[in-house]
Structure 1
Amino acid sequence: MEFQTVTYELNADGYAVIGLNRPDKMNAMTAQMRAEIPVALAEAIKAGARCVVLTGHGKAFCSGQDLGDGGNAAEIDLERVLRDEYNPMVQNLVSSPVPVIAAVNGAAAGAGANLALVADVVIATKSAYFMEAFTRIGLIPDAGGTYFLPRLVGPAKAMGAALFAERISAEEADQMGLIWEHVEDTEFETHWRARAAHLAHGPTEAYRRTKKALRASLGNSLEEQLNLEAHEQGRAGKSRDFKEGVMAFLEKRKAHFEGR
């Protein structure tokens, strides 16, 4: 497919890169972009990518909704846009069978911040920042923000971030548990590509089951979660990657996982 608002790269190391590509608009999201991200994700999985990276072109990751997209912003049916466009995109990213990394190269604001937080792992450049900018224009956090924020940083920090709508530096985001890590700008691309390659060469099926178990944990009782662990571990134990992992351990060599 020929994309208009994103770029797509399938790397030889086994991971795919989806780049938000409206740098002149700080990669603000349009209906077209929200439609293209799930298509690019599906293309990556179909092509055999074992990790997907979502990043931005230019100086920003994503500045949120393009308020000029679709006419007068004050007259847009926001409920329809969320139900028909944002929500399917979020669900596609969350349910990805392979790990998704958000490589946040700059500003991540509004829905752009929450697009990053949907990913399994968030790596930010030191100069990046996150901002739940919604209340600045009289709205509430969306694109999964009210779901992911309290789960990542707790209700107190989530409430402050949502109400004050202040910038959270990458360093602060790292310290408060909002993201996995931040790195120096000069090392950023080399670092996230190495991280993506690491996951692409890992036990993909174990990653998928790990994602499933961790995402279910906050809604489960201890008994339910223990049963889920037993079920998923039983399936993982039947994989070729588990057998390879054990043999590599016993033979004191690096495991060569096939993702099966």
Structure 2
Amino acid sequence: MTYETIQFTIDNGIATLTLNRPERLNSFTQAMHTEVRAALDRVQADDSVRVLLLTGAGRAFCAGQDLNDRAVEPGAPGVDLGESVERYYAPLVKTLRTLPLPVICAVNGVAAGAGANLALACDIVLAAQSASFIEAFSKLGLIPDTGGTWALPRLVGPARAMGLALLGERLPAAKAEEWGLIWRCVPDAELMNEAIAMATHFAGAPTKGLAYTKRALLASWTNTLDQQLALEAQMMRELGHSHDYREGVAAFIDKRQPRFQGK
């Protein structure tokens, strides 16, 4: 498939999806949503993919929604933003959260609005020192969508989540790491090398175990302790019969590097 608003490759188990509208700070249009959806469909259909790396081209990661794509003149009838959330942004977040493999986000510049919350929907977020996160919705009379109202209080607590959402102030990447919003802030020149190194690690890791870990951690937000313990027992029962568990134990005993298949 030929893409116009993204770049997408699959190589050695690593799927790399780059938002590619640098002249518009990689802001989303309907066309970009369609292409991202198609790329994620390919990730889900390709058993060779063991990790997804998401990043942006140019000086921004993603500035959220391209407002020119749904411009509203003063006095004109409004647009159904709920339909946009239901059709595009909500399915995107759900897909990233439920992909049975690790999703890394390398935030190379500003991540604003839906772009900030798209990053937070990923499993591990690395950010360049010069990057920043802005919950810009309050400046437009909107709420933090794309899962923002769910992710923010869970990551940074209710007080900081409320401040970020209501004030819409820029949060530098270093402060985002300090607050626990992201995994790590790294020097700009090292961002992609670190992201690729992490993706390479995951491409050779026991993918099924990582996928179950991801599912279990997300389930813990709504499960009782008894439910979570039962889920852990169920998952461990299945994983104990996997090739990668047997290979991991054998490699440990043999004092060699394991050769995981991801199954």
* Normalised TM-score (structure 1): 0.97
Secondary structure of the 1:69 match is: helix
In structure 1, the partner of 2:136 is 133
Are 2:145 and 1:142 equivalent residues in the alignment? yes
Kindly provide the CA deviation profile for residues 91-117 of structure 1, in whole angstroms up to 9, marking residues without a partner as x: 111111111111100000000000000
Equivalent runs, 1:86-105 vs 2, <5 Å: 86-105=89-108
Partner of 2:32: 33
1:182 is aligned to 185
Q: Deviations over 1:43-93 (max 9, x none)?
A: 133332100011000000000110010342773210111111111111111
CA distance in 2, matches of 1:195, 1:151: 24
Structure 2 stretches of 5 or more lacking a match? none
Which residue identity does 1:83 align to in structure 2?
E
Mapped to 2, the partners of 1:6 and 1:62 lie a distance apart of: 12
Residue 211 in structure 1 maps to residue 214 in structure 2? yes
Tell me the residue number matched to 2:55.
55
SS of match in other structure, 2:100:
coil
2:119 is the counterpart of 1:116:
yes
Aligned counterpart, 2:85: 82
Residue 46 of structure 1 is matched in structure 2 by 45
Root-mean-square deviation (CA), in Å? Answer: 1.2
SS in 2 for 1:29: coil
Could you tell which deviates more after superposition, 95-104 or 36-45?
36-45
CA distance, structure 1, for counterparts of residue 222 and residue 122 of structure 2: 19
Q: Is the 8 A contact 1:41 1:52 kept in 2?
A: no
**Which secondary structure state, in structure 1, belongs to the residue aligned with residue 67 of structure 2?**
coil
Q: 5+ unaligned residues in a row in structure 1: which ranges?
A: none
Match of 1:206, as an amino acid? G
Cα-to-partner distance string for 1:108-154 (whole Å, 9 max, x where unaligned): 00000000000011011111000111001111100000011111111
Matches within 5 A, 1:190-229: 190-229=193-232
1:17-68 alpha-carbon deviations (Å, 9 max, x no partner):
0000100000011111122212101213333210001100000000011001
Q: Number of aligned pairs?
A: 259
Q: Does the CA-based 8 Å contact 1:124-1:181 persist in structure 2?
A: yes
Please give the residue correspondences for 1:228-243 in structure 2 after superposition, counting only pairs within 5 Å. Answer: 228-243=231-246
Q: Deviations over 1:132-179 (max 9, x none)?
A: 110011111000000111111111111111011111111111111100
Within 2, Cα distance between the matches of 1:73 and 1:161?
28
